[in-house]
Structure 1
Amino acid sequence: MLERKKIAAFIAGMLLCACTAAPAANVYAEDTTDSSAWGASPETSANEEKKEDKNTYTLSGDFLYSTTRDGTICIEDCKSTSAVLTIPEKLDGIAVTELGRQAFGSDPENNTFTEISLPSSINYISDENPFIYCTKLRSITVSEDNKDFFSEEGILYTKDRDRLVCYPCKKGGNSFKVPDSVKELGTSSLYNAGIKDITLPSGLEKIGAFALADLTEMESVDLSGTKVTELDPYAFSGCSVLKEIKLPITLEYIGGGAFAGCKELTEIELPQSLEEIGQYAFVNTGLTAVVIPDSVSNISYCAFGYYTDEDGNITANNSFTVVGSPNSAAHIYCTDSDSDYDYQNSFVFLTPEEYQEKQDLLALDRIKSGDFEYAMISTGAVLTFCTSTDSTITIPAEIDGNPITKIYPSCFTGTMAKEIIIPDTVEEIRELAFFNCSELKKVVVPASVKKIGNNAFDKCTALEYAEFCGAETVGSQVFCDCTSLKTFKAADTIKEWNDEEPFIYCTELEEIEIDGNSGIYRSENGVMYSNDMTVIIAYPANKADKSYTSPSGVKEVQQSAFANCKNLESVKLPDIEVINAYAFEGCNKLSSLVLSDKLTTLGSDALYDCTSLKSLRLPESLTDIGACAFGYYHNDNADTQNGEAADAVVEGFTLYAPKDCTAYSFAKSAGMKVVTGTTRFFGKNVSSGFVYSLAAILGAAVLAFAGILTGKTVKKKKAENAAAKRKAHSAELRRQRREAEDSTDKKEDDTIE
């Protein structure tokens, strides 16, 4: 998959350069990649697979040709320098049936053809349009006997007129109405045609690559009445004065670079039918914001928010705004990254409601007062901008006698203050309010503030201490790229935090403290949990402890909860049943992980890049395992260009698991070492047979010891019984002796008397 992406990226880059600097013809002249990679028709004739070695071609007069599988001729090149070119019915006695992609040469600057005539024998013309090299072409004619192609007013169509093949670029005329029968505009079919106004038929279904590119006088185009489902790559690229385009409700795909270089295009409404947007689709346009419908499931990199800088590099505009639903493709695109291409998006994300509010804000009357700019709404004054250069900024509780109740988006963006003091009149901090306050070290949000918007402190790279004294609703990526944050404190008032990984970018975080347990979170020993202590929410990435054991009753590890922890070496999770995606990603010191026998789920990349974790025991209960869940790391040195996978198995990794369980199968399919028939004994993985034998030995020893104890007890009891008998016997003898003595004494007394 990655390899295909890189190939596509290379082609897209080449095409992008071409569409902004040279005619499309040059692109095709150098491109030897499969045309389907950039959008040419996949139904290309098998005869389009040309031999690279031109020594196998045959030169006949001005024409260089190859032989098709049917034994006919395909013209591959033409050396003629005349203005009028007639393609012969036959060459060397063989029928000419096809025109290759460079049939009329590959030098657009020196191409001389103004008229081209095609014979009746032609039945196939390369889908990559060989006429694009004919930069002086005014007319194309076709023999009336041709069964596959048709010409009208010098314009080339397929015979049934359902596909427009080529509108000669020098035909002339400011306007053109495409015939109602046309369902497809072929590749480069109207490229650089000089048309200002074009009318498209209602039956149109597809617009090919470069089909309407470089129409440098066309200011608007209406597709809304068509049935177009696809805009192939670079379909409208280089339309430098295009200001308005209406897209149809049937559109599903916008190809890479489709609107690249449309510098005057400042807004566009994407239809609810749209599913995919290709790479570079809107690079170098005038767009500053775009609303992405929920129907879109895939946005390729650099699709929006990128431009070509003075050095010719494709550069991101970080102030570009993407509007969409939380957790949608639009949301993901805003922070999308890929180390293989060395890019990291950091665009502004707004929900439709927030975007509308922003638009409403722009319509408000702004008032300047000292270092602040504000506007009035029903609840009071809202701060909209701050120009202070002080190292400590104290926001006033009132401005011109009006209480300040809200801090609006981007109000403090770029401010160089180290501390900003917020008054207790403020009720809401909007999204991006403190974006890129790169010197800000400390912020205490008072209890009056109940809502904190998305990315509120995004890119506050010096921020070390943050405290929310009464926040109830917190947005997503509030601390994005707060790479110096060490301590976060909050009251137990939080009822909603719209972020599954709230501290993912806080690489220096040492402590999370929640004061109390009345909200949805609580903390224990600096770790953040759900209020009921069943879910681990976040473990500070720079917490000093080297070991961690989850408290009894904790059942789940939230996404990225331990991601990139710097110091953790040993973790025990005795009751955990679910470990979500990326949970321990990047914990490269983690060498010991003891999991519960009740574990059922291990999410994608849960243990990715845990390079010190050389062994792992997984239970039979584990049935849900995500991609690269364990045993993998990212190989930065992988030769991905030649098919080597970047996701590699950790060297020396061993899995201990029951045979044929889910984890066993996962590891085996990945080529990992798997050891079965073992159990964990005093922290070590040992053979189950050894344990059974040891248990038997211990059992016998216990029985023997019990026998000894029993023997001793019996002997003791016998001794006690004997002693008792001896004692009883002695007592009897003493009784008898006393009785005898008493009898003797009585006889003596009787004698005396």
Structure 2
Amino acid sequence: MHFHFQNRLAKQYLFLYNGANRKKFKKFAIKPYPCSLAFTEQQNKAVNDDETGCSRKYQRRLGGSAMEMKNMRKKVIALVMCGAMVFPLCANGGVSLAYSSEKTMKHTDSLSVFKTDGEEVPTEDATDAEEDDTDGVEGPLRYYVDDEKVTITSYTGNGTEVTVPSSIDGYPVCDIDYGAFSNTSIKSITLPDSLKSISSSAFENCEKLQSITIPSSVSYIGSYAFYGCDRLKKVTFNTNKLSSIPSSCFEFCKKLQSITIPSSVKSIGSNAFYRCTKLSSVTLGRKVKTIESGAFRENYALTSISFPAKVRRIEDEAFYHCTKLKSVTFKSKNTKFTTSFGRCSALTKIVIPKNMASVPERAFYGCTSLKKVTLSPLTKLIKRRAFYGCESLKTITLRKKIYAIGDGAFEGSGLKKIKLNAKLQYIGNGAFKGTRVKKIKLPGKVSYIGNRVFKDCERLVSISIPASVKGLNPGAFGGCLSLKSITVSSGNKNYSSANGVLFDKNKTMLLQYPMNKTSRSYSVPGSVSVIRSSAFEGNDHLMNLSVGAASIHNHAFAEMKNLKSVTIRSGVRTIAASVFEGDSRLTTVNMASTVTSIGSRAFADTKIKSIMIPSGLTKLADDVFSGCNRISAFYGSTYGKYSVRDGVLYTNGGKTLLKYPSRKSSSSFSVPEQVTKVSGEAFKNVLSLKKLDFSKNIKYLSYACIYNCKKLKQVVFAGGTKLKSGAYAIESCDKLAVIVGPKQYLLDRMADNAGATLITL
């Protein structure tokens, strides 16, 4: 059996037919909704959600709150069950279901007639079934009557001032239905004292509505009831029967200036007053227990808020980005909040409720004016980014029970002084990154120090590491420009220190050399086999360095502005990427023959004048010497994977030209006949070269391999040259006039891209 409902009348009838006889089966009252009564699987899921948690997406699509949707579905199911019960009785005759409007109605909806066994129910029988219905019109108001109560369904007038009567035809007006006044031009409306409920979206987008008084009889308001009422300035609640302010009820009421929540209200729904940008005063009722997510988010005019004693939960971002909120008061020790006050940039002080055992994640994120924080004596944990970006927070007293500080908890804050409590065990990544602390003494129970914990603490001078520390990330002290000394307790089983330098226990790994340690020379101890990443990075005092570790990790000696001379002792095998990059005064590098691998940009942007290439070298990145514009010659063996001939560096048995020295004094150069490929940056920034000759064996010229050669005037390719790549090999050689070579498409393209003339052989 299939039921199909099309008409939107409030009273609908179900009839059973058997031949010419008709029995009235049952009368059902179903409120009209601007949606289909056929539920999809997703809509059923939305209906089954928590009444106040039904997703906005489905509330907006289906039109109404989750509770209204549930009631509607129950009635539809009842109809279907009744039909299923009577279907077996109709085996001998055709079953047809029909409905129509009543005789007294001013509007008649279409009649749907069902067919069974190929026969159509006679229309006169359906007509006989009509009975009185109470749907009607009262001036510009449309309504229906259900259980002797009137529900206003719509407003069709053009008037700006509306008075809803307390009764129609002797029946009390009790409800305003879904969307009844939505998108109308009303400026004011008077609601009767008989009114009990205002359904979802009832006044949505009434952009001219300026004030509303909720009568004392109202016990229910649906979600989005006053959504988008841009000019609504005043809302007066005369009711003490209302238990909640639903989700998005007054969202985007941008002119609303103040609100007093009735004493009967227990919860304020998500986004209830979101973006009420002129709302400067909020008085919460004494029974409020829950303020849901985003309830007062982005109320830019709100300056203070006091939470009554019964408030237990303030959800995520409830007051997020309230930029003028200066004062927050909790009257109960049992109140708890989450990321509720993030980016409240005017907030100056906060007292955490007594029974909060932790400071929530991002609780005061971006509260740039926060100066004073009083933690609960029960606080055990400060979570991730709790005080991130609190620039005005200079000091904080940690309670005795705190055992962990989460990632970035005080990152970017203005902390100058902090005394860590005795029970502290864990400090998360970046916990104090970028703060202004000068000295840190870690308590005796700290076990782990995360990555970048004190990174960019530019005023930190010294730090003491206790015996309890088991794990310490090597990047913990990066960017600490003032750090002169790191001291480790002699009882520590995992780490040690010598002359202010941090090592592992056995001094086989050098972890951190303080950035502001003022020694001019340093020799890495012979016991060290590994130098960790960025260990010396940014130290501006060292001028001479002797290194003997087998493995030197990324950026270990990068950006050392005064480093001039480096001796890489025997035993060093691996120089990783960017190890000496940016050492702008480095001129001398003495490299032992034991080195087998040099990573990308290892010596980039230095001023080395010459360098010896080890005979045992097996790996050398193409850009190792990028930006090294002072090299006049390479030295080394003429055999091996990497070889040197006439001061020029080759690889692949001499078949690939890797690097031509920028300061080589020759004005011309003939590429050896065995060379078939020129690597990228091979002839970059060469100063003296005027003429460059290639043999016919050249096949591959990498992109921009001849770059910014300021005196280069001609490039010659021998007859018979057959290039396979090289159209974009030459760039920024402003004096290049001619390219000479056989007639070939790639050479023609090369000349065109270089701004030169091709002269064919």
TM-score surpassing 0.5? Answer: no
TM-score (norm 2): 0.41
- Flag the structure with higher helix content: 1
TM-score (norm 1): 0.41
Higher relative contact order (CA 8 A, sep 6+): 1
